[in-house]
Amino acid sequence: MNISFLEKDLAHMENLRLRRSLKRVDSPQGREIVLNGQRVLNFSSNDYLGLANDARIKHAALEAIQRYGLGAGASRLICGNMTPHEKLEAELAIFKNTESALVFSSGYMANTGIISALMGRDDIVLSDKLNHASIIDGIILSRAQLQRYPHVDMQALEEILKNRKGYKHKLIVTDTVFSMDGDKAPLKEIVDLARRYEAMVMVDEAHAMGVLGAQGGGRVEELGLQGQVDIQMGTLSKAVGCCGAYMCGTQILREYLINKSREFIYTTAMPPALAQAACVALQIIRQDNQLRRQLKDNADYLHKKLKTMGFDTMNSTTPIIPLLVKDPGRAVAFSQHLLKQGIFVQAIRPPTVPVNTARLRLTVTAAHTRRDLDQLLQALRTI
């Protein structure tokens, strides 16, 4: 076997400044991490509420390990369905105000597993152009017609709904907070269009869960759209500080996915300790408004300061704040420049974002202090 083409491909990526490599962290997640041996202020994680290293959640996990061991040993349908999984699903259904919930091992698997189970060859899926890669992959797996619409463009979405006829089922799917841009989907308008054109709606709340809504229920809660979105997907890996993902919806939807979703059926159940930990994290998120307020204050402060400094933060209104650079080489150089001053902000390049929109993607959390933010701003002034 001759695999020399791999080396050529990598060299090509290198030339375009698009080759990626891993960095090693030797500390818990938090406002500060040890990155490649250097202690740095961290503005790149999705641990929005600082829960990934929270003592209460770690304690819950340790206790569950004592009681249930570590691995689940089998898939949910064989003998891996343990009490903590069902407790977590009950907690999620309460949290999201839905009939039921179903947990998946990751957000990637939830999106591919939900979409590919529900949609098929005779169907069409309308997907925002900036939706997460796992949504696109789910549509491709489903063999349904993939129809992207321009980012948050409701007129374009309506045109497509009007003109593309003859499909058995229609699904509109959207991130509620866009992961690389930090802007929000016009969900109310999407729900209205879906009703008018008899389409289903699925949302991906990965970056809204725990962040938006009075109790942290996400964009659906923020807009009071409970009961009007057919399929609510979200992750336990970002603000919830754990790992895994969920689908919240009707009991029938849950039953259907248990029977049809290959990503649910053909994989080992999530470790029970993780389910137990996520359960405790959800309770904290629901009860602790102060955490969410702190996060919003931090995000608002940075938005305001960055604007007056003249940065192009695109249309972000959330803790995800892009600093548009455009050229991938420059984005990497800026990131390295900040790193020298003890600040980590990841450069994001194509194909994760469209060509000519390379950026620094900065994320702020509830754990950051005002001093951390000022230190970041000071470093950004030297770019």
Ligand X SMILES: *Cc1c(COP(=O)(O)O)cnc(C)c1O
The answer to whether residue 207 forms part of the interface with ligand X (CB under 6 A) is yes
Interacting span for ligand X (CB under 6 A) from 50-58, 203-211, 291-299, 349-357: 203-211
* Active-site residue, 179 included: yes
Between CA 192 and CA 207 the distance in angstroms is 23
Rule CB under 6 A: say whether 108 interacts with ligand X. Answer: yes
Cβ(260)–Cβ(102) under 8 Å? no
Among 42, 116, 134, 232, contact with ligand X (rule: CB under 6 A): 134
Q: Is 310 exposed, middle or buried (0-12, 13-18, 19+ CB in 10 A)?
A: exposed
Interface residue with ligand X, options 47, 91, 204, 372 (CB under 6 A): 204
Cα-to-chain-centroid distance, residue 246? 12
Q: Which amino acid is at 303?
A: H
Determine whether 169 is an active site residue. no
Q: Does 107 bind ligand X (CB under 6 A)?
A: yes
Set 96, 184, 207, 368: catalytic member: 207
Neighbours of 317 (CB within 10 A): 14
| Alpha-carbon span 253 to 319, nearest angstrom | 32
Q: Which residue is at the shortest CB distance from ligand X?
A: 107
Q: Shortest CA distance to 158 belongs to which of 169, 149, 167?
A: 149
> For residue 344, which of 316, 364, 319 has the smallest C-alpha distance?
364
**What is the nearest approach in angstroms of ligand X to the Cβ of residue 238?**
6
DSSP letters for 211-262: TSSTTS--HHHHTT-TTS-SEEEEESSSTT-S--EEEEE-HHHHHHHHHH-H
Q: Which of residues 225-284 bind ligand X (CB under 6 A)?
A: 235, 237, 245
- From 102-110, 122-130, 301-309, 317-325, give the range in contact with ligand X by CB under 6 A: 102-110
Q: Annotated catalytic residue: which of 45, 106, 127, 179?
A: 179
Q: How far is the CB of 4 from ligand X (least distance, A)?
A: 33
Asked about 132 being catalytic, the answer comes back as no
Stretch that binds ligand X, among 49-57, 103-111, 220-228, 267-275 (CB under 6 A): 103-111
Q: Does residue 106 belong to the site contacting ligand X (CB under 6 A)?
A: yes
For residue 234, the minimal CB distance to ligand X (Å) is: 8
Distance CA 103, CA 96 (A): 13
Q: Which stretch binds ligand X (CB under 6 A): 12-20, 157-165, 200-208, 300-308?
A: 200-208
Integer angstrom CA distances of residue 284 from 28, 34, 50, 116, 304? 19, 27, 12, 33, 29
The number of residues making up the chain comes to 383
Among 93, 190, 206, 274, contact with ligand X (rule: CB under 6 A)? 206
Least distance (Å) between residue 246 CB and ligand X: 10
Give the shortest CB-5-to-ligand X separation in angstroms. 29
CB of 139 to ligand X, least distance (A): 13
Task: Quickly tell me which residue has 């009950």 as its tokens.
Answer: 90
H-run or E-run covering 91: helix 83-96
Catalytic residue among 85, 96, 132, 238: 238
Q: Is 132 in the site for ligand X (CB under 6 A)?
A: yes
Torsion of CA 221, 200, 129, 9, to 10 degrees: 110
Count the site residues for ligand X by CB under 6 A: 14
Binding site for ligand X (CB under 6 A): 106-108, 111, 132, 134, 175, 179, 204, 206-207, 235, 237, 245
Residues marked as catalytic: 179, 207, 238
